[in-house]
């Protein structure tokens, strides 16, 4: 990697290291094992994450290329690619915590992560406190002698809360805690949490990093080698490692990440502002709107406001059913971060394992829809939203005619 290169350059110039030359494109090393002629080199390779390649669960040249470029983009020291975003989350939690430890987590956390922590609390005795991280008193009150980790999201899923990363990471460090940040929604293009003092950053690379809805993966980037060794040793034992083909597909997508994120943020702003003025919408949750609680912090801390937002329909669950049946260009699809615009209802997907109380605390009502904005023309997207909301007469007539056909 070129020292001091900017994000756009780092993303495009990922390389696979070779002794005498460098291939222009990252090769796919679709192999499970590597052969040796020297027993000492063979034995050494099994003992460390940066040794010679032996077995692709432990390391692979294609996977290593992804790890190196993501580490560079995040300003980290090392990385481990995993088989999914939940693989990254699980590896971090299972590697760095043990039975009886206490973890403080951000209110409104991704449902899958919260469900995992709740399961470990029931089966392992892990202690979990869910707090409003905008309330310093609540964070201080949650601290116990067994607290080991503070777990955050750069842009919370799906209501767009942006936490004060420098302050929270600094507080965690002063109290001897590891700070872990899920940076999936922001990507390293909008924010690099390690540069704000975090210890570990993770992503579901299924989303923006891969970017084309054709690969599942995750990545963990750390601030120092000791953490990397612990995560690598335990993560490879868990079998969480990324497959080389998945890493190769992710690298292909990563090269266009900066331009995709810029366009998705711009499109999200257009849609969010138009929805905010719509009579059938009671609230729009996008940190780029001046009325959003995190707007000032997002403007100061991020290089953009993100391509995901949520909005609430006045008609609740019935309005959601109508909207999701009527959309045509936009699709009802799980996941996010691809080149096409998609919607989901968090209560029935990403946050479906939360209790009624947890859903209420997270601010997810029956009329909440999450939008992942793609690369389409924003006017085409708005036309589809408008007709699905039932307020574009010509589109209404076209939809009714289509239903009658």
Q: What is the pLDDT of residues 203-259, one digit of tens each?
A: 999 999 999 999 999 999 999 999 999 999 999 999 999 999 999 999 999 999 999
For the chain, give the longest Cα–Cα distance: 75
Nearest to 148 by CA among 193, 95, 192: 95
Among the listed residues 164, 182, 312, 384, the single catalytic one is 182
Domain residue ranges of the chain, discontinuous segments joined by +: 7-254, 257-404
| Active-site residue identified among 148, 207, 326, 347 | 207
pLDDT digits (tens, 9 = 90+) for 261-298: 999 999 999 999 999 999 999 999 999 999 999 999 99
207 a catalytic residue: yes
- Catalytic site residue 110? yes
Catalytic residue among 29, 110, 151, 208: 110
Burial of residue 140 (number of CB atoms within 10 Å: 0-12, 13-18, 19+): exposed
What phi-psi label fits residue 209: left (phi over 0), alpha (psi between -120 and 50 degrees) or beta?
Answer: alpha
Q: How confident is the model at residue 19 (pLDDT cuts 50, 70, 90)?
A: low
Domain 7-254 annotated CATH 3.40.640.10:
yes
Fold (CATH) for 257-404: 3.90.1150
From the list 100, 82, 102, the residue with the least C-alpha distance to 92 is: 82
368 vs 311, which has greater pLDDT?
A: 311
Query: What is the per-residue pLDDT for 12?
Result: 81
State the pTM of this model.
Answer: 0.91
CA angle 118, 121, 125 (to 5 degrees): 180
What is the DSSP annotation of 325-388?
HH-SSSEE-SS--SSS-EEE-GGGTTTTTS-HHHHHHTT--TTEEEEE--SS-HHHHHHHHHHH
Q: In whole angstroms, how far apart are CA 370 and each of 131, 308, 401? A: 23, 7, 28
What's the mean per-residue pLDDT of the chain?
91
Would you state the torsion angle of the CA atoms of residues 374, 376, 377, 383, taken in this order, to the nearest 10 degrees?
-90
Element (H, E) at 299: helix 295-301
Q: pLDDT at position 91, please?
A: 98
> How do residues 311-357 score in pLDDT, each as one tens digit?
999 988 899 999 999 999 999 998 899 999 999 987 665 655 666 67
């Amino acid at each position: 990697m070129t020292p001091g290169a900017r994000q756009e350059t780092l993303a495009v110039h990922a390389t696979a290291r070779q002794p005498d030359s460098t291939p222009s494109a990252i090769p796919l090393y679709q192999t499970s094992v590597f052969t040796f002629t020297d027993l000492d080199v063979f034995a050494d390779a099994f003992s460390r994450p940066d040794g010679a390649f032996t077995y692709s669960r432990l390391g692979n040249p294609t996977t290593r290329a992804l790890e190196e470029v993501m580490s560079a983009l995040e300003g980290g020291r090392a990385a481990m690619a995993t088989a999914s975003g939940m693989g990254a989350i699980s590896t971090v939690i299972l590697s760095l915590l043990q039975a009886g430890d206490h973890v403080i987590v951000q209110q409104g956390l991704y449902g899958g992560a919260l469900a995992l922590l709740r399961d470990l609390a029931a089966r392992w005795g892990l202690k979990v406190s869910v707090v409003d991280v905008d309330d310093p008193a609540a964070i201080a009150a949650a601290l116990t002698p067994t607290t080991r980790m503070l777990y955050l999201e750069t842009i919370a899923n799906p209501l767009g809360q942006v936490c004060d990363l420098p302050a929270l990471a600094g507080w965690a460090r002063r109290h001897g805690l590891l700070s872990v940040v899920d940076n999936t929604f922001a990507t390293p293009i909008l924010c690099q949490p390690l540069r704000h003092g975090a210890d570990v950053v993770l992503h579901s690379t299924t989303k923006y990093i891969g970017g084309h809805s054709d690969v599942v993966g995750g990545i963990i980037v750390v601030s120092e080698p000791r953490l990397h060794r612990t995560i690598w040793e335990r993560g490879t034992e868990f079998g969480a490692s990324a497959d080389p083909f998945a890493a190769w597909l992710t690298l292909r997508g990563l090269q266009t990440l900066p331009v995709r994120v810029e366009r998705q943020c711009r499109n999200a702003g257009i849609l969010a502002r138009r929805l905010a003025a719509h009579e059938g919408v009671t609230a729009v949750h996008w940190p780029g709107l001046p009325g959003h609680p995190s707007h000032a912090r997002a403007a100061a801390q991020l290089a953009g406001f993100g391509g995901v937002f949520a909005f609430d329909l006045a008609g609740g669950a019935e309005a959601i059913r109508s909207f999701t049946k009527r959309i045509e260009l936009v699709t009802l699809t799980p996941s996010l971060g691809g080149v096409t615009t998609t919607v989901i209802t968090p209560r029935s997907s990403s946050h479906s394992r939360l209790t009624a109380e947890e859903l209420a605390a997270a601010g997810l009502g029956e009329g909440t829809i999450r939008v992942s904005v793609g690369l389409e023309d924003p006017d085409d997207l708005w036309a589809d939203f408008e007709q699905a909301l039932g307020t574009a007469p010509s589109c209404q007539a076209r939809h009714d005619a289509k239903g009658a056909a």
